[in-house]
Structure 1
């Protein structure tokens, strides 16, 4: 049996005591089941890679969602925690969709989380906070606090498409989020104070906590908003950074019947769900 690492590192972030990596198999070699082998063949042809989050701890700690652990080796201990107490845990669960309990792995060793064909985002934040969609959290160094954040205005809660609460991580450390698109297809905008970014759809993934969010009419009046065909827009106002995934909506449409024909001759839509 070969000891050669079968993975290639796609992305990596490090802080004292922890290295978090997105690793992927260079290619899957197939299966003894012909149906599975056929799917593996097309996945390889389309360059769709099986990925995992690999974490190397050195007398440090990692927070993960329960059930996310795949395997680990070393002097490591796994325990459950509400991270901040029952009250904060309940708030996180019922308001953002995250679990009440989180698993904490501490010690020295190597951790692998559940494999996926999906995509991951790594953020190394320094005394800052990130706000993101419900269910996007994957794991984080235990130096970060994961909590629920209530929308600051009624328009964003009722018409922004994100609900009354989103998830926030704050502090200093590394957080890994699930992404609907590859990292290379994301756009990051740094907004100056008072500068706006308006998005017709629910594809703004992450923002720094200093960016305010609300749903606004696309025109100066309701009549202009209706006749413009855009309806309500998700509006982000600086200062801070916003990450958006313009291709997310395209991939969602491609899952539907007659998707290619509709994309070839789009009729336009009001992308922000209400």
Structure 2
């Protein structure tokens, strides 16, 4: 084992957080801003790069790791949390929006998982957070979630977050699953991933769905989410009051009526 072996417990239902138990000198890495709480005796350090165990490989290695993260739209930095005392200590990381946290043991999944670029939450030290370029141009240009996905490599535990309810599908050899591009959370490395255009002009223009969907061909395992964050954000934006200058609440709303009654106009 090259990765630190960590124990964990996931709390909550729709707004989950993961509590990681660290033995002395054990370390967990996490995205900046995901910390919820930690006990005394845990040392926090910001590192430059992808959080792999090769941080001492020199300035070029660090720059390469940081550059990969910059390409995926993530921060140049990650944070490590190390138990520097003798007893067991706990540190917790919270999900950024309603959904589920999925624990993934990379040693049971061929040492590599490919996931959407903002899915990674935390992992045992030694897990590398890198970049997975799609081989097909169609996948890159029309993939919905973008040309670039994250890859998590190592033999330890990693925690991935996604929106709504998560379902795991184990695909047999040659079995095909078509999903909305935004609903794909993660997949094992042997899954063949491509993008297809929705057939039929009327279906594409008036069906209410996207013009493209992801085609996943087995063998392998995929994880699908019921509520992509982009879909949630678009619904919130559509329901927000659209007033000139972003002023008072909507005219027809209860809040708008109360605003007028109090002399807000």
TM-score (norm 2): 0.69
Deviation of the 1:111 alpha carbon: 0.9
Equivalent in 201, 204, 207 of residue 226 of structure 1: 201
Matched, 1:167 2:150: yes
Indicate yes or no: 2:221 matched with 1:241.
Answer: yes
- 8 A contact 1:95–1:166 mirrored in 2: no
Distance verdict in 2 for CA 1:252–1:73, change over 3 Å: closer
Match of 1:123 in 2: 104
Q: Does 1:88 align with 2:54?
A: no
Larger relative CO (CA 8 A, sep 6+): 1 or 2?
2
Does the 8 Å contact 2:68/2:131 carry over to 1? Answer: yes
Residue 140 (structure 2) aligns with: 157
Contact 1:22 1:54 in 2 (8 A): yes
Q: Give runs of aligned pairs for residues 63-78 of structure 1, distance below 5 A.
A: 63-78=29-44
TM-score by length of 1: 0.67
Give the structure 1 partner of residue 74 of structure 2: 98
Distance in 2, matches of 1:190 and 1:95, equals: 30
> Does structure 1 residue 52 correspond to structure 2 residue 17?
yes
Per-residue Cα deviation, 1:12-66 (whole angstroms, up to 9, x for no partner)? xxx9741122223xxxxxxxxxxxxxxxxxxxxxxx7654321101132100122
Partner of 1:194: 174
| Deviations 1:219-266 (CA, angstroms, capped at 9, x unpaired) | 4xxxxx4244374321112221111123548856754449xxxxxxxx
Secondary structure of 1:190's counterpart equals: strand
Aligned-pair Cα RMSD in Å:
2.8
- Do the aligned residues in 2 keep the contact of 1:91 with 1:148 (CA within 8 Å)? no
Q: Could you tell me how far apart the structure 1 residues matched to 2:120 and 2:67 are?
A: 15
For residues 95 and 226 of structure 2, the distance between their equivalents in structure 1, rounded to whole angstroms, comes to 25
Q: Which has the higher strand share?
A: 1
**Equivalences, count:** 213
Instruction: Check conservation: 1:118, 1:178, Cα contact below 8 A.
Output: no
